[in-house]
Amino acid sequence: MLRSRRSILITSIIASVIFMAMMPEGSSSGAPASHTGAPGEQTCATIGCHDDNTINSGTASLAIDMSGVTQYVANQTYPVKIEITDPNITRFGFELVALTNSDSSNIGTFHITDAQRTQPVQNQYQLFGRRYVTYTFDGTDAVTTGNGEWTVNWTAPSANAGPVTFYAAAVSANDDMTDKGDHVYTSAKTITGQ
């Protein structure tokens, strides 16, 4: 009797684990590091998640906005806004990195200004040490229908390091509780040192 109860319990636990593993992912807590499309990186469209559409093939537009800044001054802080627009979409995601043009190393420092919608992430494996900003689960909600946006501050390095490029990838999601049918977009913005 005890043996059959134990057998039923073990079978139930195994069935529960299998069932949970087969369920579609209903939430997201940020993009994995190194998926901005920057040098040496892929995007979520090429690694097995949002991968059933070609990059930049949908109806959205993605922009990196620094309010007209084209040059940075050492130690100055600048807001960086990532904005994606896609009619009738209510769920979006993004990832952002800043790299030197000379050797594609991290440059400057990101500062989270809205911890409810954005979070830092650092790669622990490939491209070790690159630091990113990505969305939180709450940050996937559109700010208005058809518009996703996130703002983070970036502090320039302590000395002119030459041109810096910001790379971003974003997802326009159909909100069907899976990663299928979504579109991935990339954008880059370069500023020079002063």
Q: What is the CATH number of the domain that holds 105?
A: 2.60.40.4060
In order, the DSSP letters of the chain are -HHHHHHHHHHHHHHHHHHHHHSPP-----PPSS-B--TT--BTTTTTSS-SS-TT-SS-EEEEE-TT--EE-TT-EEEEEEEEE-TT--EEEEEEEEEETTT--B-SEEEES-TTTEEEEE-SSTTTT-EEEEE-SGGGB-SBTTEEEEEEEEEPPSS--S-EEEEEEEEEE--SSSSSS-EEEEEEEEEEE-
Residue 53 sits in which domain range?
A: 28-193
User: Residue 172: inside a domain, yes or no?
Assistant: yes
User: Residue 9: inside a domain, yes or no?
Assistant: no
User: Residue 20: inside a domain, yes or no?
Assistant: no
The answer, yes or no, to whether residue 177 has pLDDT greater than 90, is: no
List, for residues 88-147, the tens digit of each pLDDT value.
999 999 999 999 999 999 999 999 999 999 999 987 667 877 999 999 999 999 999 999
User: Residue 90: inside a domain, yes or no?
Assistant: yes
Task: Look at the chain and report how many structural domains it folds into.
Answer: 1
The pTM for the full model equals: 0.83
User: Residue 1: inside a domain, yes or no?
Assistant: no
User: Residue 116: inside a domain, yes or no?
Assistant: yes
User: Residue 120: inside a domain, yes or no?
Assistant: yes
User: Residue 15: inside a domain, yes or no?
Assistant: no
